[in-house]
């Protein structure tokens, strides 16, 4: 009689809290986690196939050089499409410099960056005029002072066409 009364209240007071079932996350990682733990590199471990299937687990897709946008040895960087587009844009740039520019004392065609940037046709032709200018400078087709040209600040910089 004394033991029942004592066991009842003690049992309920010291009883462990009911456990919650852990939520299963998909292999993709899902949303943000607390505590600063980000997604693991390499992805989550593959889950076993459902009953009745006997598939071999697939390795995670590798982040090869093409996927990361890196150039492969031998100059193959995805079929050459990027190189062709850059070459085409440089050809268009040369045509626009000839159209908008004037001959300087050395007999070379030059145009101010501000004139080139403000021209409506150039704005429609070039997705990234500054990038095309940098590519042309690397190929020694044009030359100009500095590395990066910005509208307003570098409007008076001469862009000189080196090849006729």
Write the pLDDT tens digit of every residue in 32-51.
555 555 555 555 666 665 66
80-131 pLDDT, tens digit each: 566 678 899 999 999 999 999 999 999 999 999 999 999 999 989 888 999 9
Supply the pLDDT for residue 85. Answer: 87
18-32 pLDDT, tens digit each: 666 665 555 555 555
- For residue 142, list its beta bridge partners: 161
- Is 66 in contact with 108 (CB distance < 8 Å)? no
Class for domain 81-161, per CATH? Answer: mainly alpha
Which of these ranges, 61-65, 66-70, 104-108, 144-148, has the smallest mean pLDDT?
66-70
Residue 138 has pLDDT above 60, yes or no: yes
DSSP-derived 3-state class of residue 159: strand
Please provide the average confidence, as pLDDT, over all residues in the chain: 74
β-pairing, 102-103 with 109-112?
Answer: antiparallel
DSSP-derived 3-state class of residue 132: helix
């Amino acid at each position: 009689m004394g033991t029942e009364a004592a066991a009842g209240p003690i049992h309920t007071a010291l009883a462990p809290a009911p456990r919650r079932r852990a939520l299963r996350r998909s292999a993709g990682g899902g949303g943000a986690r607390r505590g600063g733990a980000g997604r693991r590199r390499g992805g989550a471990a593959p889950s076993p196939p459902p009953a009745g299937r006997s598939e071999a687990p697939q390795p995670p897709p590798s982040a090869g050089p093409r996927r990361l946008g890196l150039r492969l040895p031998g100059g193959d960087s995805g079929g050459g499409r990027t190189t062709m587009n850059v070459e085409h844009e440089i050809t268009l740039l040369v045509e626009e410099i000839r159209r908008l520019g004037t001959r300087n004392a050395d007999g070379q065609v030059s145009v101010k960056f501000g004139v080139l940037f403000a021209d409506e046709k150039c704005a429609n032709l070039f997705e990234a005029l500054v990038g095309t200018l940098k590519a042309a400078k690397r190929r020694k087709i044009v030359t100009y002072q500095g590395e990066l040209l910005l509208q307003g600040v570098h409007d008076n910089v001469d862009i000189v066409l080196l090849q006729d």
